[in-house]
Structure 1
């Protein structure tokens, strides 16, 4: 059995972690010429979110944790834009993009809530 780590308890980490395979599946639908371009960008942005949440949770103190949460939030906005570009280029349907962005909005709300809580603590 795996030892419980601080980030395992965070709903934003769990949801972001669960989204990574979805992002990889979406990236697989891109044409071959996008494999090392937009598809790669989509995968990297998606994995960056739970990785930064986890790294921040493992750091010392709320200030460092907040810094990594803001990096994760920035990756969310990058991923949002990547999905919109993929839709515009015809690689994804509007329904696929909307569903993915809805999940990202939920993750962003959770991160924002956690940031607010951390910043309010003495």
Structure 2
């Protein structure tokens, strides 16, 4: 049986394509919870699969929290390196429609700890072209 973090790239891409129009045009209605959750969980778990480890925790409430990036593992309390954001912002990062540094600077992404920024090297996960 496959583990929770094993993802099918075709399924992740399909889930992201299902919310693409909303990502590219925020005035469109928000996708359904199941559709949005599939895209968020798929991309976050793909990140964890590509950058395995336990040094950085990526949180996209209420959908998913994953640990990634090789290095020291935390065992109690809050992890020392945390990236947290909302579903839309995460998907913009995961698709290359938003730059990680710009997102942190604007405050739409909370990145705490010295290693949190390392996830930028693993983004985007599913590349979407920028809208015209």
TM-score normalised by structure 1 residue count: 0.31
Q: Rg larger in 1 or in 2?
A: 1
TM-score normalised by structure 2 residue count: 0.29
User: Of Structure 1 and Structure 2, which has the larger fraction of its residues in strand?
Assistant: 2
User: Of Structure 1 and Structure 2, which has the larger fraction of its residues in helix?
Assistant: 1
